[in-house]
Amino acid sequence: MQQSEHNDGVLAVASLREYFHDALQGALAHQRVAVEDQTEQYVVNLLTLFARSEHLYERTADGVRLRPLVQMLSEALEAPTAVERERGLQRLGDVSLFIAGFFAHSFARKLIDINYHIAMGGRAYGTLACGLARGRRQVMGRVFAELAAKFLPLVDALGEISDAARRYTQADILRLYEIWLKTGSPRAHGLLRQLGVEATPVAIAQN
């Protein structure tokens, strides 16, 4: 049984996995996104794993950090074995999904934007799915195919989990508008409306 209590604004949970399971189901329902049970379980396991920073970040010559996505993709595609290639693509997809979902607002201060993570993560999962379409791992192939096809809706669902206790500033509202313009995110558009902002596309002046 899961137990939780509020203490100075902190929610204590007995099982992190159960928390993410319930939170993801609620977010998917709210976003009206349907995924297969295996895909939902995969995302819950991913969230539980990356909740521990040592599983998200890597030790490099420059310290503990996330490697650039393009480097991860290059290493995966050039891996000497099929197993290493699949592992690299899976890592790229997982990291892209988690970062795009939980840290979308931080992209405002970086050169690489959220749509880059969406594109890279979707491509990684899609390539992985094609390689697993046949053989004994067809079930995982279908999971990765669904992750690729519904990458943006899943990013929105993870963003809802991340923002559960967030208070939006004017800078955050501007960032939500930028995210909506670049990705077409239904969740970003809905949040803007809740915050009293009616989002409209920017008109491009023509000579």
What confidence tens digit (pLDDT) does each residue in 154-203 have? 999 998 888 765 666 666 677 777 788 878 888 788 877 776 667 676 54
Q: Summarize pLDDT for 31-55 with one digit per residue, the tens.
A: 899 999 999 999 999 999 998 888 8
69/79 Cα distance (integer angstroms): 15
52/45 Cα distance (integer angstroms): 12
Consecutive H or E run containing 186 = helix 186-194
Q: Identify the residue whose tokens are 């899943």.
A: 154
